Chains A and B, each alone.
Chain A
Amino acid sequence: MLLLRGGRVCDPSQNLDEVLDIYIEDDKITDIQKTDALERHRPEPFVSLEDKPREGSLKTIDLNDKVVLPGLIDMHVHFREPGFENRETIATGAKAASSGGLTAVCCMPNTNPAIDNIGTVNFYRQKSANASVEIYPIAAITKAREGKELTEMASLFKEGAVAFSDDGNPVVSAELMRRAFEYSKIIDAVIIDHCEEKSLSSGAAINEGYMSTLLGLKGMPSEAEVIQIYRDIALAKMTGAKIHIAHLSTKDGVELVRRAKKDGVKITCEVTINHLLLTEDSLINYDTNLKVNPPLRTKEDALALMEGLADGTIDALVSDHAPWTYEEKEVEFDSAPFGISGVETLVPLAFGELYKKHKMPFEVIVSALSYNPAKILNLPERTIKKGSRANLSIIDLNESHVIKKEDFVSLGKNTPFDGKIVNCKINMTVVNGKAIQRD
């Protein structure tokens, strides 16, 4: 049995923000009590998690006002396995996610083979069995993500796929996309949509705008994203299926989603921390660690995304963790692949920057990293109450932390945030009752 004593427990799903003691037994929260004011500042007992507890003994961890959150989820990561184990494996990705304060991740299917068959979904299930975070695979919409034939969505769903997406290969045919939406209704699964009209974006490296002209790089216009969002909202509305827009990056895209929600379309969406904190202006020195897809856009777009997150138009906050090797990233800008290694910086940046610097409401960030993605994907609920699963993320907002790429557990060291000091330190995660402490 574990007692987490005196943490500031914040759970926006039940308007909770109080100093509480949480009792955990096996994988459940068995009790929550107000912290005894006299007990609170007692020195920490000499108990470490490495000591094997005797059956039935109570292990106490003093949290001293550290912030206890519902177990945080990153619903958009790339763990590269199977097929690209030099960039990341499920094991290294899971360790990295855990060290970044997360309790669950959802893995995109752009692996080799793609997550488009029962074998690969099972492979994920086996690999995640003893991992330090929950790992949920997202299966492909079409076989080999080729946009030609639908995958066996119902069977894959039954095996544990939590959603469907062709990731960076958006389904080109509107007809096939319509059928995917229709078919997904059998299982009431959500289709995660990477929106990019490739005939407008092919060969491009950054956002089309002033910076693409100044730097002489080919730009992809906002319209490449907006056109497909518009098309797929129309198809989702027509079919009554669930759609989730991946990594929204444009002001017009936010507006389309806002309107679709008003119209009653079953739509949700996400934004990456990168698109909130960075703009195209940062590309001035051709740093390939800033090359992402969708590209970093303008200040105006970032502001619209901030507003969208704050007003609930945007549901989830993600890393779009895309690890690459040094050799792959340290090349000329056009030759470099898209992506930022972000699973270890998402939570520190979300609270250290988004909350502390940009004044994003605390409960908005917590919801976008826990309750909302759990609801979108029908994952085990993220609430802190008696009887619920013990999935918690515990952070320290009074300590600063220097982001150092060489400290990354992830094999991908491709971060533009190297050297940044953030006012948020990961203290501990609890995954299904199992506590993992950070120093």
Chain B
Amino acid sequence: MTPRGKDFLNIADTSKEEIEFLLDQVPVYKEILSRPIKKVPALRGKTIVTLFYEPSTRTRMSFELAGKRLNADVSNIAVSTSAVAKGENLKDTIRTIESMEVDAVVIRHSQAGAPHMAAKYTKMSVINAGDGAHEHPTQALLDLYTILEKKKTIKGLKIGIVGDIAHSRVAKSDILGLKKLGADVTCIAPPTLMPPFMEKFGVSVEHNLNKVISDLDVLYILRLQLERQSKGLFPSISEYINLYGIDKKRLGLCKKDVLIMHPGPMNIGLEVSEEAATSLSSAITEQVANGVAVRMALLNHLLGGN
């Protein structure tokens, strides 16, 4: 058994052993989810709050379902309808939630480091559900699990991550997790969407997708945020699609057993075409399904009694 911390803030500070321990637990929860009555009393009496400062469908719902299926009470705070809209700051919001005897708070925030800050001010477990361009650690866990499920191992796999690496918290967590488990990672993006010092993360940097696409075991496509174009980071959507979009033709250049992944929400027809997203190679819906089981494993790890 690995030591469990109070919080789950990033993959950078999560050990390989803890990641492997969590991934090992996932099948237990997948089995629960396959039952007609998908509920166990592991976290009965525990209370979890989701505090989302940014819109989200799958991550928030996934945490909510994970908590409920472990019998925890789950309450959701959407910031637009909360006291935050009246000017309450993060520190006060956290103290307010804590005063209602809550055990864990799941935070999504547009600013990097916000969950770290929250964790400093509270005894509750803080789980990072995505902060700015920093990390999205539970997404990394579910991505790692999905790859493991499909490919049986991660060590030595050639994994390409294509798209806006510079602004992607998903890319960051995935890269850190994949490297800890021994994958061979290539980041593919125009230089304007590639952050500095990627080599220090132990990954290869590539600007030409076609040069590496046929070697990849996994092709991980990142969401392209359209406002990046107006900021001068790439000249046009159509040029981006030409250079980095994954469509049926580009899929044809891939290995036969390539795995296509995307964290969602997708811009269909932009970074990924409908055909590529729904092809037999695609694991995109499995990623979402695995998300619930992975988060159950994490919540029970942090909050469960033993």
Which size bracket describes the interface of B in this complex? 20 to 34
- Mark each residue of chain A from 112 to 148: 1 if its CB lies under 8 Å from any CB of chain B, else 0: 0000000000000000000000000000000000000
Knowing A216-B131, A216-B134 are in contact, say whether A334-B112 is a contact too (CB < 8 A): yes
The smallest C-beta distance from B287 to any residue of chain A, in angstroms, reads 21
Q: Which residues of B contact A215 (CB under 8 A)?
A: 112-113, 134
B256 contacts A by Cβ under 8 Å: no
Chain B nearest Cβ from A110, distance in angstroms: 25
A209 near B132: Cβ-Cβ < 8 Å? no
CB pair B113–A213 under 8 Å, yes or no, is no
Complex contact A213–B197 (CB within 8 A): yes
A217 to B116, CA, bound (A): 13
Name the contact of A216 in the complex, choosing from B91, B133, B201 (C-beta under 8 A).
B133
- Separation in Å of the A74 CB from the closest CB of chain B? 31
Asked if A285 CB lies within 8 Å of chain B CBs, one says: yes
Measured between alpha carbons, how far is A219 from B166 in the docked complex, in Å? 11
User: Of A166-174, A177-185, A325-333, which stretch is located at the interface?
Assistant: A325-333
Asked if A378 CB lies within 8 Å of chain B CBs, one says no
A213 touches B12 (CB 8 A): no
CB contact between B114 and one of A218, A219, A332 (< 8 Å): that residue: A332
Q: Which residues of chain B come closer than 8 Å to A332, judged between CB atoms?
A: 90, 109, 111, 113-114, 117
Cβ of A197 under 8 Å from chain B: no
- The count of A-to-B residue pairs whose CB atoms sit within 8 angstroms is 61
> Is the CB–CB distance between A285 and B196 below 8 Å?
no
Interface mask (A405-430 → B, CB under 8 Å = 1, otherwise 0): 00000000000000000000000000
A208/B116 in contact, CB under 8 A: no
- In the assembled complex, how far is the CB of residue B259 from the closest CB belonging to chain A, in whole angstroms? 26
> Which residues of B sit under 8 angstroms from A214, Cβ to Cβ?
12, 172
The answer to whether B195 and A212 have CB atoms under 8 Å apart is yes
Considering only residues 110-138 of chain B, those with a C-beta below 8 Å from chain A are: 111-114, 116-117, 131-135
**Chain A residues whose CB sits within 8 angstroms of the CB of B200 once the complex forms:** 210, 213
Among B12, B109, B135, B195, the one with the most A-chain Cβ atoms within 10 Å of its Cβ is B195
* Chain B contacts to A: CB under 8 angstroms: 12, 89-91, 109, 111-114, 116-117, 131-135, 169, 172, 195-198, 200-201
Q: A331-B89, A332-B90 are in contact. List 13 more A-B contacts (CB 8 A).
A: A209-B196, A210-B197, A212-B195, A213-B196, A216-B131, A216-B132, A216-B133, A216-B134, A285-B116, A286-B116, A333-B111, A333-B113, A335-B111
